[in-house]
Structures are given as structure tokens and as C-alpha cells.
Amino acid sequence: MSAATGAVTDALRELHTRYAGVDEGELAEYIPKLAHADPGAFGLALISMDGHRYSTGEADVPFTVQSVSKPFVYALALSLLGLDEVSRWVNAEPSGEAFNAISLERLTGRPANAMVNAGAIVTTALIPDTPVAPRFGLILDCLSRFAGRRLDVDEEVYASEAATGDRNRALAYLIRSTGPLPMDPVAAVETYFRQCAVRVTALDLAAMAATLAHGGVNPLTGDTVVSEPVAAQVLAVMATCGMYDASGDWLLRVGLPAKSGVSGGLIAAGPARFGLATYSPLLDPVGTSVRGHLAIGTLSHRLGLHLMYNPALAGSTVTLVSSADELPAAPAGKRERARRERVAVAAAQGALDFTAAERVLYALDEAASGETGAVVLDLVRVTAVDTVARAMLRSGLARLTADGLRTAVADPDGRLREPGEEAGAARSFASREEAVAWCTEAAAG
């Protein structure tokens, strides 16, 4: 396992181990087929803006997307119709009520937002329907592009949902009675049921969340699924409304745009940073996965992921990935250059947080490929390293050492050292050239 993959996956595995034994919560028995889910299933997945995938547990176990589909169908409606037109039919205000409540605006009957069932039914109905491009075909294609692969429908769950979905039908008729439902209530709800029965995995959901976090561009495929303004609008509604009557507490404590579903799926997005998803079907009274809530909350706190924190600037962290013989200060002698050829160098700059550290670790992995015998991490131009990034870099360097590589750090300010520690995780030097020289001498020996 690489330094980068190991450091991030270890964090997910620790959370899986910590919360896998939690048996609080109930299965969503009001949809009979969902009551057959394995209550012990628990998977976590994270996808970075560079398309790096991390997972643990049952991250590839299929389940139905349910309400986690809502932000993505809302994104489709915004893309096709625009914010002003969609807002004529569906508001964007927190309801403070449960997912299946009658959250309708007085006089107009407009649903409070697109995350509650009433608003989601209207949003689904807004998607154009033509013989050439059927409504559900557009929805399934949209969800598939967000996931980065072709998705399908669990017909048994769809049938189970359709057989027991009278409350949603009642909502649709109530909305229609006041005006804002642009199609037959029965047809609207049947399409909505089918949308909720689309089959996904936690890894799929992480890709979908990462696409929103990446400004509408799927980091796995490079496909621009929606525009950046649409992605931002969807994330805004997720942040304020995605967790229903627990949205305020979630944003206060976890600080990430999120959406839950009664099958046990839960997504969270760190704008310009990552997409995160969990799967565990035991639900709390609000309809959110108990283990998923605990895991994402802990990860946000531990890694400093809250939206209101000030993250390091993305995209400018890694400044060099090279071998030592290609550096400007490399000697001209053939023998000396051959020794330095086996010394890999990666340099970083700026303030390092979780996202920046993940990029640096991947740079180390890239630098350490082939016949490399030693690795130098240059932190001379790094201005700050938070506690999460420090732990990740130390773990990554330790893995490289365990793999038989000599590791050194150009760290004149001791940013990788823990408080009170005299020596860091790797041999430390005041400059890059000193670190390279030490590694080259070892290669010569």
C-alpha cells in the first residue's frame, strides 16, 4: 500500500473499527424491502479532487440511493431550467421538519426546499419528458454521470416502495391542489419512486459528492456533469436543508454540506477538497445512518474539515517531483549523478492541511517509483503544518521507511516534529541539498 493510500485509508479503517460495533438505530421498515438490509453492513469511502479513491468496509455493497438522489436531480433541474425557474416551483428555505412532512408555503403551496419529499417530487416533475428523451432516462443518465459509471434500478425495491408510498402520493395530490405540480401526481410519484430505487455503492456516492465538490466535474472521469454555479447552488441547499430537521445541528457540529437517505447512505462534500460517503442501514429518529453520522462527524472534527475553517489553498501545494540528479545543484560527474538518480525528491509549499498533505503523499509515491532507494521531502517553503497533516506525513514517511527506502526531510523549522520531540519521524536537515547528500552517501555505501 502506498504512503498516501495508507495514511488516508488508515483513518477510515480506524473509524470503521471504532463504530462498527454500534448497534443503535432501526432499519427503515416502512419500505418492506429495506427491512431486509444487513444491519451490520458498514462502509466508508472518500474520493479526492485528484480522483484518488479510499475505502474500507462494505464500500462496494449495492443499496438503493433513496433521498441521496435529491441533490443530484435538483442539480439536473437547475442545469436544464435555471435557478429562477426552478425557484418558482420549489423554495430553498430550511423547513425545520421531517423529510416526509407537509412542508408547503402558505397560499402558494410551494414546497420548502428540494431536499424534503414534497420538494423532491416537484423537482422530479420539473425534468422535461419527451418521447426522444424520457424523464426518467434523463434522471438515470444524470445520476450515472455523477457516479462515473452506468447505474441501474433495483426493481424489487421500486415495487416495494410503490406498494407502500401512499403518503408521497398524498403529498403530490396536496401540492397539485394548490397549483405547483407541473404534471399528473401519480406519474410524478412513480418517477420519484424509481429515482429512489437506483442502485449505488458508497464508492459511487463518494464520487457523486466529489463531483459537486469539484465544481460539477467528476474527478474520476473528467466529465463536466453540471456547471460550477449549479454545483455551488446545490451545495448551498445541502448545507442548509440536506439533513432535514437536524440540518442546523449538523452544520454547526460537522460543518459540511450533506444528504442522508433511509437506505443508510450518507454523503458529505468538502468543496474543492473531497467527496465522502458512508453506508450503514441502522437509522436514527431523523432518518440518518447512526454509524455514518458518527464516522463523518468524527472525521470532520479530527481532520479539521468544517466549512468555516480556513483551509490551505488548493492546487499550489506540490512544487517539485523529481530525482536528485535533475536538480540545479546536481554535480556533473557521471558516477555522482548515477547515485543521485536513485534519490527521489518532492517539495511542497504553503500551509498544509488534510487536503494538501494527501497531495504531498501522492507526490512522494510518484517520486519513489522505479529504482528509487531514498526519498527526500522538502518542506523549506512550507509555512505551516496542522496536526492532521503532520500525522499523515509522518505516517507516510514511516511506510516508505518500512518498505526499505531511506527517508529524509528538509525541515529547518521542525514542522514535522511533535511538540517537545527532539527528532522527527525521519532524519531532518536544514536544507534540501544536505538531505540529498545524506541519502546519496547512503546509496554510495
Q: Tell me the catalytic residues.
A: 67, 70, 192, 244, 262
Q: Which residues contact 248 (CB under 8 A, 6 or more apart)?
A: 94
Tracing cell 548515477 back to the chain, one arrives at 338
